[in-house]
Amino acid sequence: MVFLSVINWARCRGPDEFWRKRRVFRLAAHYIGRRRNCYSIAVRNVHRALVYATKARKLKKEDMKSLWDVRITAACEQHNITLFSLREGLDRANIMLDRKSLSDLASWEPKTFEALAAVAKYKLETDRFIDGQDKCHPTGINLNLKDVMLEAWLNEKKK
């Protein structure tokens, strides 16, 4: 009689050698040659594979991020805007789209992306966003520094 997964999991917990090895062999089932048949070789390769899998979970996210960036950059070039200014403009226009959605829109709905690029461009233009700065609003006006500082200045002990 062949026991399938559930009952095997229950018995895996024990210190029994057969089941301990079997757990490793299950993970090495798709390997070739002695890597799947000899325990001492299999366990080494399984360990290495698990390490790769752990690292790859992070790498996969980074790879996808760089791929989306390449795609969005390509789409931005078609509308004569850079990736940086697109993101800046969309952030200012309060359009919170991430890389994945932007790249999906760029390839599946190019007209939507064109509209987004136009929105970003127009927003930056109205903000006078030049060289990474707002040229029309000097910094400090928005911060209302005078309100913050006045009270502190009044409370300060004068000689």
116, burial (CB in 10 Å: exposed 0-12, middle 13-18, buried 19+): buried
Q: Which is nearer to other proteins, 79 or 121 (CB)?
A: 79
Sites of contact with other proteins (CB under 8 A): 67, 70-75, 77-78, 103, 106-108, 110, 113
Q: In this structure, what token pair is assigned to residue 29?
A: 């089932």
**In 3-state terms, what secondary structure has residue 129?**
strand
Report, in Å, the least distance between residue 4 CB and other proteins.
Answer: 33
Helix or strand holding residue 18 (H, E): helix 17-27
The DSSP bridge partners found for residue 134 are: 129
Q: Which is nearer to other proteins, 46 or 106 (CB)?
A: 106
Q: Which is nearer to other proteins, 70 or 145 (CB)?
A: 70
Report, in Å, the least distance between residue 117 CB and other proteins.
Answer: 12
Integer Cα distance of 5 and 109 in angstroms: 45
Q: How far is CA 90 from CA 7, 16, 97, 98, 103, in A?
A: 54, 60, 8, 10, 14
Q: Which is nearer to other proteins, 71 or 92 (CB)?
A: 71
Integer Cα distance of 149 and 111 in angstroms: 48
Report, in Å, the least distance between residue 107 CB and other proteins.
Answer: 4
Integer Cα distance of 134 and 131 in angstroms: 8
Q: Which is nearer to other proteins, 28 or 103 (CB)?
A: 103
Q: In this structure, what token pair is assigned to residue 114?
A: 């064109």
